[in-house]
């Protein structure tokens, strides 16, 4: 499940310049062994017919639909070694062409991490228990008042 997002053309892009984002691409998580890397890697690449690819960046977040400007981007090359710290996080790969246009592909978390478990199970259960307790407390308080 890969999500692809296209960023707009940079301000000041004139007629005849490259106003299109790089081609859509689908990064993949793979074992690093064939690349001489221990652990898992993310492999990616794309093309830009007009101006060529300038760079790739990578970012991570527990939130899938994080706005591009809130992602902490780091320069990246393929294959990129995944560390244990990114377990449970979405992986964002941004391809930027020579005119500044960008395309972002998003990969789901490749390993469940504690934060993923917490956000998926612990937090919702805690919220449900809190709501039940709150209703019980309100019901009990109202019921005691009506007995007086």
Q: In whole angstroms, what is the distance from residue 97 CA to residue 103 CA?
A: 9
User: Which whole number is the average pLDDT over 126-135?
Assistant: 90
pLDDT > 70 fraction of the chain, expressed in percent and rounded: 78
108-123 per-position pLDDT tens digit: 887 665 665 666 667 7
Does the structure show a pLDDT above 50 at 104?
yes
Task: Give CA–CA dist 128/29, Å, rounded.
Answer: 35
Please give the Cα distance from 110 to 120 (Å, whole number). Answer: 15
The pTM (predicted TM-score) of the whole model is 0.66
The mean pLDDT value for 19-30 works out to 92
The pLDDT of residue 106 is 92
Which residues are 40's β-sheet partners?
31
Averaged pLDDT for residues 7-11: 49
Closest CA to 78 of 100, 55, 62: 55
Residue 11, pLDDT score: 43
């Amino acid at each position: 499940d890969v999500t692809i997002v296209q960023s707009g053309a940079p301000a000041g892009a004139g007629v005849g310049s490259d106003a299109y984002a790089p081609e859509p691409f689908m990064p993949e998580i793979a074992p690093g062994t064939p690349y001489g890397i221990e652990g898992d890697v993310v492999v990616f690449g794309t093309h830009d017919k007009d101006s060529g690819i300038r760079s790739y960046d990578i970012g991570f977040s527990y939130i899938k639909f994080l706005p591009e400007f809130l992602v902490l981007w780091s320069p990246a090359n393929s294959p990129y070694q995944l560390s244990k710290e990114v377990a449970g996080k979405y992986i964002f790969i941004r391809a930027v062409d020579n005119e500044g246009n960008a395309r972002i592909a998003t990969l789901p978390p490749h390993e469940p991490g504690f934060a993923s478990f917490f956000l998926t199970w612990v937090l919702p259960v805690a919220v449900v228990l809190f709501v039940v307790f709150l209703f019980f407390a309100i019901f009990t308080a109202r019921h005691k008042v009506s007995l007086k």
